[in-house]
Structures are given as C-alpha cells and as structure tokens.
Copies of this chain bind each other. A is one copy, B any other.
C-alpha cells in the first residue's frame, strides 16, 4: 500500500475552471463564483490505494472527484473494515466535515488512479451563504447519501444472500455498463474488497458468488462481475426466494 505520495500538478486557473464546469456539482453556481473557486482550488492526484484523508482528521475541505473512484470506509474497534460508500467521478467527497466543521467521520482512499479538485472551507462556505441554489444542491447531495446509508443499515440485518444480491444490484446501478451478456460492474473489486462492502467475510462471499455463477445469474469477465440475470438477483434481494 503506497502512502502519502500525493503529487500536485499546477494547472492554470483556466484549466481548473474547465474541470469545475465539467463537474455536475458546479452547475448551481454563477460564473463569478466558479472563477473564484477555480482560483483557489487545488488539483490533486492519487494512485490506487492511496489515502486521501483519515477518520479524525480536521475536515476543512471538500473534494470534487474528476476521475477515478474513492472508497469511504472505517475500521471498527473489533478491527473489521466496512465500506460506507463508493464515490465516482462527478460526485463529491468529504462534504460532511466541511459543512459541520467537525472531524472526518471516515477514511477516504483512492481505489483507482484518481483526480480530485480540492475546495477549501473558507472558499466554499461563503458561496453557500450567498447562493441558495448551491446550498440546495448540497442538500440534495446529502439527502442522497442519507438514503443510501439508511438502506445499508437495512441491508445489514438481512441474511447474507439477500444482502449480497442487493449490494450487487446497487453496484450495477452505480457502476453498471450494459454489455451483450448483461450488466457489467465497471470496477475491479477483489472478493475481500466486496466483503467489506457487504460486511461479510471473503469466504462466505466467495461461496455465494460461486453458486450464482453456476446458476448463470452472474459471470466474471476479466475480474469484473457481470450480472446476467438481473431479474433473478433482484428477486433474491427482495427476499422472494
């Protein structure tokens, strides 16, 4: 696991502005604000496995993910790691601590080569205070997160098969890519990684995947899961065995 070796490029404010504008999040801002942000924003890149921030860090910034994917996770007192969220290009990371000024509530790690634009609290908050549309956009983001996380709570009291099915369906919605045989999840996830998403051990997960593979419900295509029978998977996820 490489660590710390974040590199920073030094692109022009113009470059940064166009990156900002490409980000869905930014559409709620007017041109001046975008300019202001572009001036102060830093562009950072992280290799796969690199830590972006850690639980407990002071949270004075928010990241717009330009490229790649960020895993939000935390390690319990019993030394189990659980993934709270996977955040892809076009979404934001670290907004909670930025907004409430408290510590980071979880760890953030790049799981691919990832580029982010870092917005500082002092640059961003004034914009929210001036621009209600931006604040409302932030509210939408948080509502979305909350719905997802509540769903995860529900998932965690379900039996494994049902939970796995629901997680796969959700991953397919988030990272899915339609191919001829079905929906491919465009993420290279090891089984232990997937285990951390579902909150189970690698072994149990492996057995379940094997079964579904035999039944033709899923398949593996160069290290990526392809869902071949989405309907069946959804049925399992609904508990209709």
Contacts and interface: CB of A to CB of B under 8 A. Distances in A.
Interface stretch (A2-10, A142-150, A172-180, A181-189): A142-150
A2 to B, nearest CB: 26
A152 B105 CA distance: 12
A78 B159 CA distance: 8
Contact of A132 (B77, B128, B156, B162): B128
Contacts of A80: 157-158
A153 B154 contact: no
Interface stretch (A18-26, A35-43, A133-141, A220-228): A133-141
Chain A binding site: helix, strand, loop or mixed by DSSP? helix
A50 to B, nearest CB: 22
Interface range, A side: 35 or more
A154 to B, nearest CB: 6
A136 B162 CA distance: 38
A99 B146 CA distance: 12
Contacts of A135: 128, 132, 135-136, 139
- Residue with the greatest number of chain B CB neighbours at <10 A, chosen from A80, A145, A162: A145
Nearest to A81: B157
Given A132-B128, A132-B135, A146 B96 contact: yes
Contacts of A147: 96, 100, 102, 105
Copies of the protein in its oligomer: 2
A68 interface: no
Contacts of A191: none
A207 interface: no
A42 to B, nearest CB: 23
19 contacts: A74-B154, A76-B154, A77-B239, A84-B150, A96-B143, A96-B146, A105-B146, A130-B132, A131-B132, A132-B132, A135-B139, A138-B139, A139-B139, A142-B143, A142-B146, A145-B146, A149-B149, A152-B153, A157-B199
Interface of A: 74, 76-78, 80, 82, 84, 96, 99-100, 102, 105-106, 128-133, 135-136, 138-140, 142-147, 149-150, 152-154, 156-159, 162, 199, 237-240
